[in-house]
Structure 1
Amino acid sequence: METQPSVASHVADSERVQRGIQGVAGMGASVANLALLLSVWGQWSAVLAVAGVSVVLTLFNAVLAERLVPRIGRARAEALRMGINATGICLIGIHTRWHVLLWVFVPYNMLWYFGLDSWVRPRMAIYLVSIDGVALATGAEPATVLSFSIIGIFGYLVSEKRGALLTEKNLELARTHQELQQLHQRALEQERLSSLGLMAASVAHEINNPMSYVTSNVDSLLQDMRDEPNLSAPMKEYVDDVLPATLDGIKRVNSIVSDLRRFSRGDFEGYSSYDFNAEVRTALRIARIQLGHVRVEEALEEVGPVVGRPRQIVQVLVNLLVNAGQATPAGGVVRLAARNEGALVRVEVRDTGSGMSEETKRHLFEPFFTTKPAGLGTGLGLSVVQGIIKAHGGRIEVESELGKGTCFTIELPKVPALPPEKGSGGDLRVAGH
């Protein structure tokens, strides 16, 4: 999952910066106008030109241009503003014979308008060429024109680079802040999942004790009734059907509780030899509640003993089975297959669910990437699954197509080459991607 700030937020920040700049720029323009007015004092035609044009430009820049922004957009409003300012500078220049103080406005206008849209540089070029052309045609000194044009061009380029750098830093800070918020949220979710695992282990332990009494008592009752020679027909039915079925159900409950206790343990698990098929059946029992709405098909060859961390292998299979169940609508099929392939074990978890797009598959094993609604997945499940498989020296692949289901394929060596001494980081009890 990518953490980009929204376009709307970036535009809003640019508008706030623009308004802040305009306040300072307005003060500078007023000071420059006053200095120019005083310098031509006594030349009344020039005074009237400076005063009249300055009032019009100030009014337009401060009020009218901003009111036009919501209607025609910032880019068009700026183009209009630059055109009117260029016209005003030319009018004042003609009446003041291009007084040197007037030339301050040429680079000044260029310094504080940058980065608004892709047409900023063309507008600046038209602005500068127009003023320079009129100035040279009406008697301005070429050296003065060249000097202030150079200042305007390179001053604008410097301010543009500085503005781009500040924008980049702001975006980087926004991304970092958003990433920190997401990491904080994920840490809270991990802590919650860890607490749920401990609670599940405690609940399983509490259930285990009374179930031991129930198992023992029902088994004893069945044996005593079998030893009784003179049972009535209804009681014989209990001995032959009811109590054996009850005892079988109790044993299934005990198996689930035992699986849950072992699966929820948080201590370090070393490499050991284990019955692979037994662990596959354990994963099926744990995931069964998430697969009640689909048909579960099994194709399990007898794999035999495998070396590894059995609890982590159960975690991998539970993750994949739960994901398959959540992606498959009612009446669909989830198929679990396992078979020997020489020194490898090949496992396939296939579903007839919604499938995944190419974009989703590219990010599938990234930490915190999830396609599920809030509360149904943290984006850690498949990342952890991949870590566990790699730690066992295996590999995992996915085939999926939108609307046609998904198939996860795992290949595990029966005996990993060099089992790591420490945990693989795959102890999170998460089932979600």
Structure 2
Amino acid sequence: MNSKQSSRRLFLKSAALAGLAVGAEASASAQGVTDASAPGAQPGTHAHGQPARLATPAGRAVTKTITHTTYYTPLADSVGIITPASLHFMQSHSRLPDIDPEKYSFIIHGLVERPLAFNMDDLKRLPSVSKIAFLECLGNTGPRRHSSEGKNATPVTVQYTHGIMSCNEWGGVPLSVLLKEVGVKKEASWVVAEGGDGSKYSYCVPLTKAMDDCMVAYLQNGEPLRQEQGFPARLFVPGFGANHSVKWLRRLMITDEPYMTWDQSVHHAASRVDLGNKSRWFNFVWPPKSVITRPSAGLKLNAPGYYEITGLAWSGWGKVRKVDVSVDGGKSWKEAKLQDPILPMAHTRFNFDWTWNGEETVIMSRCTDDQGEVQPTLAELNRNWGRGEKDRLEPISNTHYWNAIQPWKIAKDGSITDVLFA
């Protein structure tokens, strides 16, 4: 029996013995036992589907600026891989449109044989698919997510550093079905998607990807999309940065070249030292990532002993092959256990048994996907982008597709902090 299994079994055994002791004491004074339940609502009066009255559901943190409103998924309180629709992150670049599904439609035009408009009835009569997949904002986990400075500072927790991502079961019509309906011309190579919000948010997707696994989604975890998630219909592009999955879909224009939309070519372009300080446009796929969600910054270990380290791993390129965990600041690594299901372009839950000795340490995780791509350290990421290993990208830097390994420091008092830039 290895030390991890032994520690875990001793912990569970001691917990069971403690429970027996409590039970014996309760039996000895049965007349003093109180019933924790109280008269509640009569059967049928509790609102169906609502949380239990005394339950404490997880909540989304929120930040607001002049141009953006962001709600963060509470990752530390999440179990499994599916994010409840009510806890899905939200990034809004303008006011949310209030669209009547009975009057809604979007058009597909441009380099097509038959420009067509599709309403909700059209979508629901066509062949449908469902897919469990993550959705992650381009700026998630970037350098500015690791700073709590400023007038409206947000505490640095895993919800703030990594919470602009979620994983849902999306349902809708394969985009390839709709494109075949309109007849895409041979010279076409790109799809320009435009949203129905106030800013007419627009992004380009290669036609090869559109014909592969994209969909026009109208379902989220088996229910209609939430308003902030694009109700009544949105484009969904698995594995790509979430900005490609345009919400409140208004039109799809088929073209023979990418359009230089402001959102894609200006707002989400960042200069790269390795490119001679030029900006690289049209980044697409999220590289492999992982993060320990518990224990993580903002939480506290009450005493030395057994703790399960758990977290999420994902890759826009495919499936997670393995996750390694270090409990000594990266000096050594051991493979974590992956929970089923292990799906392409979806969150994968990992677990690792650990006994904390009460000393200061740093814990972190590292993802390897089925393409052999490995999540880099901060130093490796700097080298990849043409910077010195010890260069510090300022927290205000607008860096996208950031996938550096996330270290959490555990102090002797059990407090946990983010030390990525320490």
* Common fold: TM-score over 0.5: no
RCO higher in 1 or 2 (8 Å CA, sep ≥ 6)? 2
State the TM-score, normalizing by the size of structure 2.
0.21
* Larger Rg belongs to: 1
The structure with more strand, counted as a fraction of residues: 2
State the TM-score, normalizing by the size of structure 1.
0.21
